């Protein structure tokens, strides 16, 4: 629907801010299409490296190009010692997303090429961030748990190495498949709040790191990526299937927003949640432990009956990540290490065809006031 002059759309709902070739959401189907490929096709067939390439270069890689890209990402995985020292020095109760935000900002302050407005140098910085954010997240997780950080293993794939750096173990096939699929599913999602934040900062011709720091700052909020931690904490609070009905009723009576439910664009279902729901069930069954899936399913039914609100991507991603050994406190960081791929595509797109992003406000404040000299 066209905007009327001076019409305010609260939360910019339905406002089309850019033309983009990166991804498209149709909330009515519902569907998510990335560079022309449906998310179901993507998750069934692509690894994280492949979707990252697709996002950065607009096409799927040939076998040779994928090998080169994979080798380049591997060569960029190690983080500077000063970042490790910072991670060791932060207080044990620091919020992991705040620590990640600061670490990325530090990487920016160490980069003498900050601000060089050329697509190739921007691309290299983005590839570096795609490769290094998992190393930062994993090192922080281990240091936080009182263990020593683990150096990247260059013989392992992106997801396998990430899992190894966090847990110290090589993931079995099912675990690796689940983890890689989570990274693939979270890699890109059109102009969500964090991507918009990245584009706003890039639109001022600021630098890549500042843009990514803006994205991290936005995605950590509980209404956005932070909802994944909230979802798992909620399932733990519910505790058993029998408690789900009263929990949901009480929350709705208190007008609380349940994490992992609702979406600005998908009102009839989030296609990512459908995929994650079946993956969670499959993994739970294979491990003879369906406790979290059963609670989630019951709470989902109650939400559908009482409020007709659908689970979003975070709802089943939370128990899936929990099943494969990720602590709740780390979940938004995992989401961020996937979304950096999508942010990268948007940062390149914004920089490649930039116009300062500068909306207006409809003024509803006082007028005609005069300063009284005392």
Helix, coil or strand: residue 196: helix
Contacts of 239 (CB under 8 A, 6+ apart): 295
DSSP state of 354: -
Q: Does 312 participate in binding ligand ACO (rule CB under 6 A)? A: yes
Residue 49: both structure tokens together:
């490296």
Contact 53, 69 (CB under 8 A): yes
Rounded to whole angstroms, how far apart are CA atoms 27 and 267?
A: 6
Q: Does 277 participate in binding ligand ACO (rule CB under 6 A)? A: no
Q: Does 259 participate in binding ligand ACO (rule CB under 6 A)? A: yes
Q: Does 339 participate in binding ligand ACO (rule CB under 6 A)? A: no
Q: Reply yes or no on whether 24 is catalytic.
A: no
Residue with tokens 């993956």: 279
Q: Does 274 participate in binding ligand ACO (rule CB under 6 A)? A: no
Shortest Å, Cβ 301 to ligand ACO: 15
Determine the interface stretch with ligand ACO among 93-101, 152-160, 253-261, 349-357 (rule: CB under 6 A). Answer: 253-261
Q: Does 71 participate in binding ligand ACO (rule CB under 6 A)? A: no
Residue in 314, 319, 322, 332 binding ligand ACO, rule: CB under 6 A = 314
Picking from 158, 130, 166, the residue whose alpha carbon sits closest to that of residue 339 is 130
Helix, coil or strand: residue 24: strand
Instruction: Give the nearer residue to ligand ACO in terms of CB position, either 152 or 225.
Output: 225
Instruction: Give the nearer residue to ligand ACO in terms of CB position, either 7 or 59.
Output: 7
| Stretch 151-210 residues interacting with ligand ACO (CB under 6 A) | 192
Contact 298, 241 (CB under 8 A): yes
Question: Is 359 exposed, middle or buried, given 0-12, 13-18 or 19+ CB atoms closer than 10 A?
Answer: exposed
Q: Does 342 participate in binding ligand ACO (rule CB under 6 A)? A: no
DSSP state of 169: S
Rounded to whole angstroms, how far apart are CA atoms 186 and 179?
A: 11
Q: Reply yes or no on whether 323 is catalytic.
A: no
Rounded to whole angstroms, how far apart are CA atoms 226 and 234?
A: 13
Shortest Å, Cβ 252 to ligand ACO: 6
Contact 343, 194 (CB under 8 A): yes
Contact 61, 53 (CB under 8 A): yes
Picking from 77, 88, 180, 102, the residue whose alpha carbon sits closest to that of residue 140 is 88
Determine the interface stretch with ligand ACO among 77-85, 113-121, 220-228, 326-334 (rule: CB under 6 A). Answer: 220-228
Instruction: Give the nearer residue to ligand ACO in terms of CB position, either 171 or 183.
Output: 183
DSSP state of 261: B
Determine the interface stretch with ligand ACO among 46-54, 64-72, 127-135, 221-229 (rule: CB under 6 A). Answer: 221-229
Q: Does 309 participate in binding ligand ACO (rule CB under 6 A)? A: yes
Residue in 32, 133, 227, 330 binding ligand ACO, rule: CB under 6 A = 227
| Stretch 1-20 residues interacting with ligand ACO (CB under 6 A) | 11
Rounded to whole angstroms, how far apart are CA atoms 70 and 52?
A: 10
Residue 103: both structure tokens together:
């670490």
- Options 270, 314, 323, 351, the catalytic residue: 314
Residue in 223, 278, 305, 353 binding ligand ACO, rule: CB under 6 A = 223
Q: Which residue is nearest to ligand ACO (CB)?
A: 262
Instruction: Give the nearer residue to ligand ACO in terms of CB position, either 84 or 265.
Output: 265
Active site residues: 263, 314
Q: Which residues bind ligand ACO (CB under 6 A)?
A: 11, 192, 223-225, 227, 257-264, 307, 309, 312-314
């Amino acid at each position: 629907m066209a905007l009327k002059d001076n019409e305010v759309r609260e939360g910019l709902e339905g406002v089309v801010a850019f033309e983009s070739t990166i991804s498209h959401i149709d909330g009515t189907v519902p569907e998510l299409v990335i560079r022309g490929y449906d998310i179901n096709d993507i998750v069934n067939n692509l690894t994280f490296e492949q979707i990252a390439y697709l996002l950065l270069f607009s096409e799927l890689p040939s076998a040779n190009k994928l090998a080169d890209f994979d080798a380049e990402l591997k060569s960029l995985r190690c983080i500077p010692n000063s970042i490790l020292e910072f991670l060791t020095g932060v207080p044990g109760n620091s919020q992991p997303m705040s620590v990640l935000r600061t670490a990325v900002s530090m990487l920016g302050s160490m980069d003498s090429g900050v601000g060089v407005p050329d697509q190739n140098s921007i691309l290299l910085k983005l590839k570096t961030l795609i490769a290094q954010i998992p190393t930062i997240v994993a090192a922080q997780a281990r240091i936080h748990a009182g263990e020593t950080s683990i150096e990247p293993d260059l013989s392992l794939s992106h997801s396998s190495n990430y899992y190894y750096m966090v847990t110290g173990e090589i993931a079995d096939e099912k675990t690796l498949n689940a983890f890689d699929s989570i990274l693939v599913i979270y890699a890109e999602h059109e102009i969500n709040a964090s991507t918009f934040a990245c584009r706003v900062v890039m639109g001022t011709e600021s630098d890549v790191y500042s843009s990514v720091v803006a994205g991290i700052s936005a995605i950590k909020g509980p209404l956005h990526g932070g909802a994944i931690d909230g979802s798992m904490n909620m399932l733990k609070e519910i505790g058993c299937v029998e408690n789900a009905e009263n929990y949901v009723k009480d929350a709705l009576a208190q007008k609380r927003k349940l994490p992992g439910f609702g979406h600005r664009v998908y009102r009839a279902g989030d296609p990512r949640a459908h995929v994650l729901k079946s993956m969670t069930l499959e993994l739970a069954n294979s491990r003879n432990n369906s406790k979290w899936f059963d609670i989630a399913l019951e709470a989902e039914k109650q939400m559908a009956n009482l409020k007709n609100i659908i689970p979003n991507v975070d709802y089943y991603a939370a128990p899936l990540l929990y099943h494969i050994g990720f602590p709740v406190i780390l979940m938004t960081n995992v989401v961020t290490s996937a979304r950096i791929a999508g942010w990268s595509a948007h940062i390149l797109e914004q920089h490649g065809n930039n116009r300062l992003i500068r909306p207006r406000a409809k003024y509803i404040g006082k007028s005609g006031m005069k300063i009284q000299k005392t």
